[in-house]
Amino acid sequence: MRVCYFGTYEKDYVRNRTIIDGLRKHGWDVQECHVPLWERQGNKTGSYLQVVSLIKRAVEVLVAYVRLFLKYLFSVRCYDVLMVGYIGHLDIPLAWLLTRIPRRMLVFNPLISLSDTLVDDRAAFAEGSFMSGFLRRLDRWTCRMADLVLLDTDAHITYFVDTFDLPHEKFVRVFVGASEQVFPPREYTHQGNMFRLTFGGKYTPLHGLHTMMYAAKLLNDEPNIEFNFIGTGQLSDEIHKLAADLDLRNIHFSDWVSYDQLSNCLAKADVCLGIFGTTQKAGRVIPGKVFWALSMGWPIITGDSSAIRELLTDGKNTLLCPRGDPEALSRTILRARNDKALLRRVAQGGRQTYLAQASETRIGKIVADAIERKAI
């Protein structure tokens, strides 16, 4: 089967790379028709605010789509399936037109709902506003245009089906996975007297940074516990101020680093930290940072949810605690610090789960099987 991976997607974003590399490992021919647009944006979803509100940004987007169309006309070889990558909502109308004559399958890999992310999760637009309505219609229209839509959890699929009135058979669950070149398996070892916990990611409501700050406060006087936070984002100023107000002595902040550097940073931790936010979206996703740890064979503590339980089990391949509960998180951290055998068991179990359900090879097979079923 021949696939053209198409659009203005972020080329190195893990969701795109795992599907492209997974299909190639499955033996499929995957060519990329890509024009960079979102790589220049520090906040991809936030960039949609600029796309719809700033004339300068609108012109930049228009030029990108002219270039994309010309690249398609003059560079793309024959293919059977056109797949639009994350974050590709604005790519879908052009992709739909290109797959009409001759008729070919259109697969959409959105990963997120724009309305869920920008209205419900990040509160960038008020519920009931013009923009919230536009984003919901955009989510619905783009999914309707596609023949097949790839989402990361069953919980997310249920949300799309119920919210946008879409047929369940249009969707297939494909876990996010991790780039195995960037997050290769490592031998897990305890790092010495200091017990280090590391979070890497954006400072957004989804991740529950406030919960982690208050958990750190409860552990402020515990010897040899250290938190490392790597990233920036919407809540950066607020989180730094909270850490100062709480007089946290056990926290270190650093800016976002490349994924290659991030892998080495995580390997210096005893435990990785997942997400603990209480937004509805936080209960529907399994974020990339969970898969980074699983791919490396590193233990991770993350918030409990129906989505997480599609893949993970407390004490077997992860450590879970209620989301939004600093006391529960602090107890789970102490449990991890005091039980090295548990950490080794969770690390090994996580790696085994990753290989069985979320590796690039497994992801490639799931996507290929779904496309072949749809083509029958």
User: pLDDT tens digits for 178-194?
Assistant: 999 999 999 988 767 89
Is residue 182 assigned to a domain?
no
Is residue 316 predicted with pLDDT exceeding 80? yes
Q: Which of 225, 224, 229 is nearest to 212 (CA)?
A: 229
pLDDT at 267: 93
Helices (H), 268-359: 288-296, 326-337, 340-357
Amino acid identity at 249: R
Is residue 188 assigned to a domain?
no
Tell whether 136 and 24 lie within a shared domain: yes
- pLDDT tier, 51 (very low <50, low <70, confident <90, very high otherwise): very low
pLDDT at 259: 85
Tell whether 223 and 340 lie within a shared domain: yes
**Matching residue, tokens 């990361």:** 152
- Overall number of domains in the chain: 2
Is residue 184 assigned to a domain?
no
Is residue 49 predicted with pLDDT exceeding 60? no
Tell whether 266 and 301 lie within a shared domain: yes
pLDDT at 160: 97
Q: Look at 234 and 26; give whichever has higher pLDDT.
A: 26
Is residue 50 predicted with pLDDT exceeding 70? no
Tell whether 111 and 254 lie within a shared domain: no
Tell whether 171 and 207 lie within a shared domain: no
Is residue 171 assigned to a domain?
yes
Is residue 190 assigned to a domain?
no
pLDDT at 300: 98
Tell whether 285 and 305 lie within a shared domain: yes
Is residue 53 predicted with pLDDT exceeding 60? no
Range of the domain at 268: 195-357
Q: Cβ–Cβ contacts within 10 Å for residue 47, how many? A: 17
Tell whether 211 and 346 lie within a shared domain: yes
Tell whether 37 and 164 lie within a shared domain: yes
- Which tokens go with 339? 């039980």
Q: How far apart are CA 304 and CA 205, in angstroms?
A: 16
Q: What pTM does this model have?
A: 0.91
- Which tokens go with 88? 């590709």
- pLDDT tier, 41 (very low <50, low <70, confident <90, very high otherwise): low
Is residue 36 assigned to a domain?
yes
Span 118-127, mean pLDDT? Answer: 86
Span 148-157, mean pLDDT? Answer: 97
Tell whether 32 and 170 lie within a shared domain: yes
pLDDT at 191: 62
CB crowding 279-313: b at 16 or more within 10 Å, else e: bebbbbbbbbbbbbbbbbbbbbbbbbbebbebbbe
Is residue 291 assigned to a domain?
yes
Tell whether 59 and 154 lie within a shared domain: yes
Is residue 348 predicted with pLDDT exceeding 50? yes
Starting from the edge strand earliest in sequence, which strands make up the sheet with 195-200, in order?
251-254, 225-230, 195-200, 271-273, 300-303, 319-321
Tell whether 69 and 105 lie within a shared domain: yes
Is residue 44 predicted with pLDDT exceeding 50? no
Average pLDDT, rounded, for the chain? 93
Tell whether 43 and 83 lie within a shared domain: yes
What is the CATH number for 337? 3.40.50.2000
**Matching residue, tokens 């730094």:** 240
Is residue 54 predicted with pLDDT exceeding 70? no
pLDDT at 122: 85
